[in-house]
Amino acid sequence: MRGLYPILLFVIFVRCLEAKKIRWCTVSSPEHRKCAELAKALVAVLPPAAVAAFARLSCIRASSTTDCMNRIKANRADIVTLDAGEVYSAVKQFDLVAIAKEIYSDGGCVLSVAVVTNSSLDIRSLRGLRSCHSGVRWTAGWSLPLGFLLSRNYLSWSKEHPLSHDVSAFYSASCVPGAAALAPSLCTLCQGQKSYIQQNNYHCETSHSEPFYNNQGALRCLRSGTGDVAFVDHLALESIEGSERGNFRLLCADGTQAPLSKYRSCNLGRGPGGGMVTRHNFRKVARKFLMTAQLLFGRQGRERRRFQLFDSSVFGESDLLFKDGTAKLAVLPDDMDVSQVLGLDYVALLKGLGHEGSSLEDSVVRWCCISHAEQKKCEQWALSIKSDPLVCVKGVSMRDCIEKIKRDEVDALSLDASHSYIAGKCGLVPVVTEYYGKNCVHAEGLAHSETDVLPSVVGVAVAKHSSRSVFIGNLEGRRSCHGHMYSPAGWLLPYRHRLSLDRNSSSPCDPNKVYNEVFWKGCLPGSQGDLCKVCLGGTGEAATKRCTDNHNERYYGNMGALRCLVGDPTGKSYGDVAFLEHHNLNENILSLNSTGWATGWASSDFELLCGDGRRAALSEWKSCNLGAVPPNTIMTRPVLTARVYDFLMKSQEALANNANTEFKLFESHQYGESDLLFKDATQCFAQTSHMDYRSILGEEFYTHLETVFNCTRSDILEFCNQDVCSIF
Ligand SMILES: *[C@@H]1O[C@H](CO)[C@@H](O)[C@H](O)[C@H]1NC(C)=O
Ligand SMILES: *[C@@H]1O[C@H](CO)[C@@H](O)[C@H](O)[C@H]1NC(C)=O
Ligand SMILES: *[C@@H]1O[C@H](CO)[C@@H](O)[C@H](O)[C@H]1NC(C)=O
Ligand SMILES: *[C@@H]1O[C@H](CO)[C@@H](O)[C@H](O)[C@H]1NC(C)=O
C-alpha cells in the first residue's frame, strides 16, 4: 500500500499540470515564434496565479495542419486554428470539437475569389491552366470554386474516382498544399523543401514552410508566374498593395473580369471562416484560454500594445495562429453540431464534393414527395427509368422539402412560384422550369424547350353558377377555398383585389390577415384557425388531420380547392369561392365524377369572378383572372445542378423512347389528384440553370413576393436566415 502513494500523488500532480497547460500546435517557425511571444506576453501581464491556473501556453511544432489534428487527438497538443473545411475533417475524422470561430470585420464568412494577372482569361476556360490554391479542402481555395465549376458543368466529375482525380486532369499543373496523399499531380507547382523524412518534408504541406501554402502562398504562386489563377478568400485581397492592385483581376461567375475591389459581386460563392478545435475533454480550458487571450491581446485588448493576437507582420508571414483579418473570436456553446457551426449549405456542399470519401449515394437523385399520392407517382417514375436510380423521399409540405434539401436529406423537387422565391432566398438554385407552351423541341426523342420565353398560367376565382350573389367585392363573411399556403393563385394573388367593399383594405400587406378578416371560415391548407375549419383532412392510406399542407388533405391544391367549392359527398364543408389555377380546371371538373367525389358537375355549373366584380364563363379566363402565375421551377443545392439536370433529361428521354410505358410524368389523374410532382400543364422542361430564380419569376412578381414576405412571418425564411452564411 505504502508504495502506491507516491505514484498516486504523481498522477494527480501530472493531471493538474495538464489541465493548466495549453499546448498550441504550430506549423512553421514564424508561427512558432508568434506563439512563443504570446506565451511570454501572457506571463508578463497576468499574475502568476492566473498564468498557472489557465494561461500557461506552450507551443508544439508540427509539420502540417493534419499533423496537428493527429497530435491533438493523441493528446500531444491541445488546440489549433483551421480553415472551415479542415474544421469539418477535424470533427468528422479526428473526433475533435470546434470551440470558437473567427469573425472578420464584415462578418463570419469568406467569399471565394479567383485571381488572375492575364486579362484574356475567364472562368469558363480554366481547363488546361496552371492553378494555385490556398489549401486542399479549404473553403475558398478548394470547395467553393469546385462546387461552382461543377454546378456550371465547366468541370465534370465522373464519380468513378474521387473528385481530386478529375481536378488534377482538369488543370495542367497545380499547387494544392495538403493534396499529396490525394493526387501527387496536384502538387507539381509547389516549391517547399522535399524530404523522405516526413517531419522534414514541406513540399505541398499545409505549413508556411511551403512557400505556396495559404492565401498568401497562392497569391505568391500567381505573382511569380508559376500559376495562371489563384483561388483565395476575399480577405487575402486586403494584403495586395495599392501599387500592385492594378496587375490583378478577378474572374466573375458570368465570364467577365473585374477589379479586386469588386469581390462582393464578382466571386464564386461564400462559406464559413476559420475556427479553433480541441479535444472534447479540453473544451472548457481551451475556451477560457481563448477568452483571456482575446481580452488582453484582441483588437480592443487592454494589453494590445504589448502583443497583437491578430497581427503577424512582425514575424515575416501572414495569418499566423489566426487570420490577420480577424476582428474577434466568437466562442461557441457546447451543444452545437457541425452543421450549426459551419452552416447547412456548406456541410451539404462538402458532402456533395465527397469530403468524407465518395459514397454510393453519388449517382442517386432523391426526390421530395409531399403526399401519399405523390409518393405513389414517384415510385412509378422510379420503376419506369432503368438507368439512374431515383429515390422517393417523404416530406410533409413544399417548405419541409426546402428544409430537407438544405439538410441534405433530399435533393430536388418542383416548386411553385412563391416557393421558388423562398428556396432562392434559402440559397437553392434552378435546374429546369416547367414549360407550358407548344415549342418543345423533339430531337432524338429528347423533349426540351430552347426558348427564353417561359409561359405562365393564370390564377382565377371560381364560384358555383347557382350562387348568384357571390362576386369580388361581396365576399365578406363567406367561405373560401385556397389551393395551399403561399400558393400563387390561392394565397398570393387574391388579397390584392378588393374582396369586400365594406372594408377598407387597412393591411393589404399580409394576405393571411386579409383572409382572416374578410372570410367567415375556409380551407387554406397549411394555415390555422378559421381558415382550417372547412378543410377535411384525409382518410385511408393518406389519413391525416385536417389542414395539412399537402394532397393528403382532400382540399389541397387546384383539385382540392375545386372539391372544397363543391363540398363533400354529405353536402357539408363547402366553400362559396375557390381561388385556384385555371390550367387544369376543366379536366378537374370532369374528374370529380371519375374519382368518385361528386357526380353531375359540368363546366357550365361554374363561373369565374373577375377582379372588377363581373362574372364570366370559364372560357373567358384570359380577360377574367386575378393575375399571371410564373411557372414552377425544379430547384436543388448548387453543387447538384448538373446531376439533377442530367437525371431529368435522361428520364424524359427514356420515357419518350419507351412507347410501352404507362407512366406519364405530367399526368396525375390516375392517382386521383392533380399536379402531382409537376403541374399537369407541363409539356417538357426548359433548361434554366443559367438563370437565377429572380429572372425566372420576373421582376414584377419577384417584387410582389418580396413586399409580401417583408410583412408576413414565415418559419421557413426564418430558418434559412439563421444559416451561418445566409444569402442576402
Ligand atoms: C494569356 O492567356 C491567353 C489564353 O490562355 C494566352 O494565349 C496568353 O499567352 C496569355 N498571356 C500571357 C502574357 O501569359
Ligand atoms: C375607409 O377609408 C375612408 C377614406 O380613407 C374613411 O373615410 C372611412 O372612414 C374608412 N372606413 C372604415 C370603415 O374604416
Ligand atoms: C360518372 O362515373 C360513373 C362511375 O364511374 C360512370 O358510370 C358515369 O358514366 C359517369 N358519368 C359521367 C357523366 O361521366
Ligand atoms: C424588403 O425589406 C428589405 C429589408 O428591410 C428591403 O431592403 C427591401 O427593399 C424590401 N422590399 C420591398 C419590396 O419592400
- CA 715-717-718 angle, to 5 degrees, is 60
Nearest CA to ligand 4 atom 12: 707
- Any residues with Cβ below 6 Å from ligand 1, and which? 118, 120-121
Ligand closest to 228 (CA) is 1
- CA 47-49-52 angle, to 5 degrees, is 110
Name the nearest CA neighbour of 392 among 353, 373, 366: 366
With contact defined as beta carbons under 8 Å apart, do 235 and 104 qualify?
Answer: yes
Rounded to an integer, what distance in angstroms lies between the CA atom of residue 234 and that of residue 244? 16
Is 457-629 the same fold as 4-101+273-327? yes
Rounded to an integer, what distance in angstroms lies between the CA atom of residue 624 and that of residue 613? 10
Ligand 3 pocket, mutate which of 586, 592, 594 (most atoms under 8 A from CB): 594
Ligand 4 pocket, mutate which of 425, 710, 714, 721 (most atoms under 8 A from CB): 710
Ligand 4 atom with least separation from CA of 706: 13
Ligand 1 atom with least separation from CA of 129: 5
3-state secondary structure string, 240-260? Answer: CCHHHHCCCEEECCCCCEECH
Residue 648: what pLDDT? Answer: 94
Rounded to an integer, what distance in angstroms lies between the CA atom of residue 197 and that of residue 60? 19
Element (H, E) at 22: strand 21-26
Q: Percent of the chain beyond pLDDT 70?
A: 93
**CATH code for the part of the protein at 109-270:** 3.40.190.10
Ligand closest to 504 (CA) is 2
Q: Ligand 2: distance of its center to the CA of 509 in Å?
A: 18
Q: Ligand 1: distance of its center to the CA of 119 in Å?
A: 8
Q: Ligand 3: distance of its center to the CA of 670 in Å?
A: 15
- Beta bridge partners of residue 131, listed in sequence order: 174, 229
Q: Ligand 2: distance of its center to the CA of 206 in Å?
A: 70
Nearest CA to ligand 1 atom 10: 118
With contact defined as beta carbons under 8 Å apart, do 41 and 55 qualify?
Answer: no
Q: Which residue has the cell 382540392?
A: 560
Q: Is the CB of 700 under 6 A from ligand 4?
A: no
Q: Is the CB of 506 under 6 A from ligand 3?
A: no
Nearest CA to ligand 4 atom 1: 710
DSSP state of 236: G
Q: Which CATH class, in words, describes the domain spanning 4-101+273-327?
A: alpha beta
Nearest CA to ligand 4 atom 6: 710
Nearest CA to ligand 3 atom 13: 600
Rounded to an integer, what distance in angstroms lies between the CA atom of residue 70 and that of residue 293? 25
Annotated domain spans of the chain: 4-101+273-327, 109-270, 358-454+636-720, 457-629
Q: Ligand 3: distance of its center to the CA of 593 in Å?
A: 6
480-506 pLDDT per residue, tens: 999 999 999 999 999 999 898 877 655
Residue 213: what pLDDT? Answer: 97
Q: Ligand 1: distance of its center to the CA of 133 in Å?
A: 20
Rounded to an integer, what distance in angstroms lies between the CA atom of residue 272 and that of residue 103? 10
DSSP state of 141: I
382-408 pLDDT per residue, tens: 988 876 689 999 999 999 999 999 999
Q: Ligand 1: distance of its center to the CA of 129 in Å?
A: 10
Residue 11: what pLDDT? Answer: 42
Rounded to an integer, what distance in angstroms lies between the CA atom of residue 240 and that of residue 261? 11
Q: Which residue has the cell 423533339?
A: 442
Q: Classify burial at 718, counting beta carbons within 10 Å of its beta carbon; exposed 0-12, middle 13-18, buried 19 or more.
A: exposed
Q: Ligand 2: distance of its center to the CA of 502 in Å?
A: 10
Rounded to an integer, what distance in angstroms lies between the CA atom of residue 417 and that of residue 559? 18
Ligand closest to 601 (CA) is 3
Rounded to an integer, what distance in angstroms lies between the CA atom of residue 579 and that of residue 572? 19
Q: Ligand 4: distance of its center to the CA of 710 in Å?
A: 6
Helical residues (DSSP H) of 123-232, grouped into ranges:
144-151, 163-170, 214-223
Q: Ligand 4: distance of its center to the CA of 712 in Å?
A: 12
Rounded to an integer, what distance in angstroms lies between the CA atom of residue 675 and that of residue 660? 23
Ligand 1 pocket, mutate which of 116, 117, 118 (most atoms under 8 A from CB): 118
Ligand 3 pocket, mutate which of 586, 591, 599, 604 (most atoms under 8 A from CB): 599
**What residues of the chain score a pLDDT lower than 50?**
1, 4, 6-19, 358, 360, 443-446, 727-728
457-629: CATH homologous superfamily?
A: Periplasmic binding protein-like II (3.40.190.10)
3-state secondary structure string, 661-692? Answer: CCCCCCCCHHHCCCCCCCCCCCCEEEECCCCC
Q: Classify burial at 586, counting beta carbons within 10 Å of its beta carbon; exposed 0-12, middle 13-18, buried 19 or more.
A: middle
Q: Which CATH architecture has domain 358-454+636-720?
A: 3-Layer(aba) Sandwich (3.40)
Q: Is the CB of 466 under 6 A from ligand 3?
A: no
Ligand 4 atom with least separation from CA of 710: 1
Q: Ligand 2: distance of its center to the CA of 501 in Å?
A: 11
Rounded to an integer, what distance in angstroms lies between the CA atom of residue 672 and that of residue 669? 5
Residue 570: what pLDDT? Answer: 84
Q: Is the CB of 706 under 6 A from ligand 4?
A: yes
Neighbours of 6 (CB within 10 A): 9
Rounded to an integer, what distance in angstroms lies between the CA atom of residue 699 and that of residue 96? 47
Q: Is the CB of 721 under 6 A from ligand 4?
A: no
Ligand closest to 704 (CA) is 4
With contact defined as beta carbons under 8 Å apart, do 387 and 654 qualify?
Answer: yes
SS3 category, 53 = helix
Please enumerate in sequence order all residues whose Cβ is within 8 A of that of 72, keeping only pairs 6 or more positions apart, or say none. Answer: 25, 78, 79, 80, 90, 94, 96, 277, 278, 279
Name the nearest CA neighbour of 179 among 191, 168, 167, 187: 187
